[in-house]
Chain A
C-alpha cells in the first residue's frame, strides 16, 4: 500500500475584492468565497493518477484551519482523494509558513507517508515556503516547482522535472519517502464527477488538535497589510464598448504609427 498525503489550503477566490482587516495585519476574511488553492488541485490530480496506475494507493488530504476549510477538503475528496483530516487551528490560515509546516509535520511524523504533495505556493499569500519547510522538518528529500514526475515501478524513487527560469528544466531523482511541490502546467485537473461529490459529502473529516513540533519557534511576522501604491497613473476610459474603443484608438494612434492605414 502506497500512502500519499496531499496538503491543501483554502484560499479566497482570486477575483475577490480584498479589504484590509480592522487590525491592519491581514485581509478581511469575512464575506469572501473560498476555493481550493489552484496549485493544490494539480497535486490532487497527480495523486489520483498514481492511484489509477498503482491501484493500492491511499490518498489523504490534510488542511490547517478553522471548520470552514472542511469545504475545501470535501472538494479535494470529490476529486478522488480517499480521506481527509483537518488540523483545527482557528488562526491556521493567517499563520506563518513555518508554524503551519510544524503543525502538519507533527501530525504526519508517525503516519509513514510515502509521498507528500504540496502546491508550489498559495494563491493568496504566495510565500512558496510550506512545502520545503515540511520536508525539512520531516527530514525528507524534496523537489519544488515540478512540472513532470514519474514514480519508478518498484515505488522506491521518483524522478521529477523542475522548471527553472528561461525554459530550463532540472531533472532530479528523490528516494521515497519524499515531498514534491507542484507547479501549474503539470496536468489538467479533472472535474469532480457528481457521484464523487455525493460520496465525498458522506465522508467524515476527523478534527485534529493543533500540535507544533517541539522546540520550534515561529518564523516570519507580518506587520501590516495595505493596498499597493500605484506605480504609474492609470487612466481609465469610461463609457460603453464603442465609446471606449474609439477613445482608446485615439490614444493609441497618437502614441505611434502602429497600423498600416490605407
Chain B
C-alpha cells in the first residue's frame, strides 16, 4: 500500500459539488497525520473540464475518468470504472461523500475491491493509528472504526465532518479514457420536488414537531404554540412528514431544509444525525423529550424531560399569561 488518499469528487450537471471540497479537507486531515499523497478523482463525460474545476478549487492533482456512461451517475459504471482505476493507484484510503450518490456506490466499490467500508464518518482520531468515528443508535453512542488489516478503506464522509479545503494554488488536471461495458442500470434523469411556499430560513422561531407527539391530532398543540411567537414557523422531522402529518415543505434536516433561527424548539425529536445537520446552527435550541438520553440533548442548550402532552398545554398557558 502506498499511503495514497484518493478523494472522489461528486458532480451534478457537470459541476463539482461543494461537498467535494469538504471531502478534500477531510483528506488533508488524514494526510497531515499519515503523510500520504492526496489525489483527486472526478468521473464524468467529458472529464477534463470537471477535473480542472476540481483541481482549481481543491489544489489537488486531479485525474478525470471519462466515458459516455459516466456523464450522469450510474452505480454500475462508477463501480466498473473505479475498480479498474484504483488498483493501479494502490491507495490506503478512498474518500467519498456520504450522500445519496456516495453511499449508493461506495459499499459496492468496497466489496468489489474486497476492502473495508467505513461509512457515515463524522470525524477521525489518531492514537497510534487512525480511527474513524460514526454515530450509531440514533446518536446515543459513537463507534470507532478502522479498516481490517491490509485492506483499502473506502470511507464515506458525512457532510459537515470537515472544513472545505483552501488551495494554495490550483492543482494539475489530467484525464484517462475508460473502457466500460454496458450495464443493467439506466439513469433516466432527475426531477426536482415541488418546493412549497414555506421558506423556513425566514423564521426567527421554529417550533419543530417530531414523532414523539404520538398522533397527528396533537399537532394542534404545536400550531397553537407556534402561533404565540412572532415570525414563527412549524418545522418537522422526517418521521412526521413520512407519516403524512405535515407536508414536505416543513421538513428540517439533510433531506429537508437547513435552518438557523433564533429559537428552535425540538418537540419529541430524537436527534438523529440527519435531523441535526439541518438545525444545529440555531442560536438557542430547546429540546423537549421524555427520554433523557435522547441525542437531541447533546446539541440542545435547554433540556426539558417531560411528556409533551402535559408540558405543551402548560407552556401555552404560561405564554398566554404574559402576553
User: Top 3 nearest A-B pairs by Cβ distance?
Assistant: A167-B193, A241-B314, A171-B188
Determine the distance from Cα of A171 to Cα of B209 in the docked complex, in whole angstroms. 30
Report, as a range, how many residues of chain A touch the other chain: 35 or more
Neighbour of B73 across the interface among A127, A129, A170, A232, CB < 8 A? A170
Determine the distance from Cα of A235 to Cα of B242 in the docked complex, in whole angstroms. 31
CB–CB A258/B230 < 8 A: yes
CB–CB A223/B135 < 8 A: no
Among A51-59, A134-142, A193-201, the one that faces the other chain is A134-142
CB–CB A164/B101 < 8 A: yes
Is there a chain B Cβ closer than 8 Å to A202's Cβ? Answer: no
15 contacts between A and B (CB under 8 A): A97-B107, A123-B138, A143-B75, A159-B188, A220-B145, A221-B145, A228-B298, A231-B299, A235-B301, A236-B304, A241-B306, A245-B311, A251-B302, A258-B205, A259-B323
Is there a chain A Cβ closer than 8 Å to B169's Cβ? Answer: no
Is there a chain A Cβ closer than 8 Å to B181's Cβ? Answer: no
Is there a chain A Cβ closer than 8 Å to B275's Cβ? Answer: no
CB–CB A237/B304 < 8 A: yes
CB–CB B322/A125 < 8 A: no
Determine the distance from Cα of A78 to Cα of B58 in the docked complex, in whole angstroms. 53
- CB-CB < 8 A to B126: which residues of A? none
CB–CB A258/B262 < 8 A: yes
Among B30-38, B62-70, B146-154, B172-180, the one that faces the other chain is B146-154
- CB-CB < 8 A to A144: which residues of B? 100, 103-104
Neighbour of A228 across the interface among B139, B148, B239, CB < 8 A? B139
Determine the distance from Cα of A162 to Cα of B74 in the docked complex, in whole angstroms. 12
Neighbour of B283 across the interface among A136, A227, A236, A255, CB < 8 A? A255
- CB-CB < 8 A to B140: which residues of A? 18, 227-228
Determine the distance from Cα of A104 to Cα of B111 in the docked complex, in whole angstroms. 14
- CB-CB < 8 A to A178: which residues of B? 184
Using a CB–CB cutoff of 8 Å, the interface residues on chain B facing chain A are 73-76, 79, 98-101, 103-108, 110-112, 114-120, 131, 134-148, 151, 156, 183-193, 195, 204-205, 228-232, 238-239, 241-244, 248, 254-255, 262-263, 270, 273, 280, 283-284, 286-287, 291-293, 295, 297-306, 310-311, 313-315, 317-319, 322-323
Task: Identify the closest chain A residue to B313 (Cβ).
Answer: A241
CB–CB B144/A171 < 8 A: no
CB–CB A220/B147 < 8 A: yes
- CB-CB < 8 A to A223: which residues of B? 131, 144-146
Since A167-B255, A219-B116, A262-B323 are in contact, a sample of 5 more A-B pairs with Cβ atoms closer than 8 Å, ordered by chain A residue number, is A136-B79, A136-B112, A141-B184, A217-B148, A245-B318
CB–CB A171/B110 < 8 A: no
Is there a chain B Cβ closer than 8 Å to A71's Cβ? Answer: no
- CB-CB < 8 A to A217: which residues of B? 114, 148, 151
CB–CB B104/A248 < 8 A: no
Is there a chain B Cβ closer than 8 Å to A175's Cβ? Answer: yes
CB–CB B107/A128 < 8 A: yes
- CB-CB < 8 A to A232: which residues of B? 299-301
CB–CB B241/A14 < 8 A: no
Task: Identify the closest chain B residue to A260 (Cβ).
Answer: B230
Q: Quick one: given A237-B304, A259-B228, are A224 and B144 in contact (CB under 8 Å)?
A: yes
CB–CB B131/A142 < 8 A: no
A169 to chain B, nearest CB (A): 5
B291 to chain A, nearest CB (A): 6
CB–CB A98/B111 < 8 A: yes
A154 to chain B, nearest CB (A): 15
Determine the distance from Cα of A166 to Cα of B137 in the docked complex, in whole angstroms. 25
Determine the distance from Cα of A144 to Cα of B110 in the docked complex, in whole angstroms. 16
Q: Per-residue CB proximity of A225-246 to B under 8 Å, as 1/0? A: 1111011111111000110111
Is there a chain B Cβ closer than 8 Å to A1's Cβ? Answer: no
- CB-CB < 8 A to B255: which residues of A? 163, 165, 167
- CB-CB < 8 A to A185: which residues of B? 238, 241-242
Task: Identify the closest chain A residue to B230 (Cβ).
Answer: A260
CB–CB A169/B298 < 8 A: no
B114 to chain A, nearest CB (A): 6
Is there a chain B Cβ closer than 8 Å to A101's Cβ? Answer: yes
- CB-CB < 8 A to A161: which residues of B? 191
Determine the distance from Cα of A178 to Cα of B239 in the docked complex, in whole angstroms. 28
Is there a chain B Cβ closer than 8 Å to A91's Cβ? Answer: no
Task: Identify the closest chain A residue to B307 (Cβ).
Answer: A241
- CB-CB < 8 A to A218: which residues of B? 148
CB–CB A169/B302 < 8 A: no
Is there a chain B Cβ closer than 8 Å to A31's Cβ? Answer: no
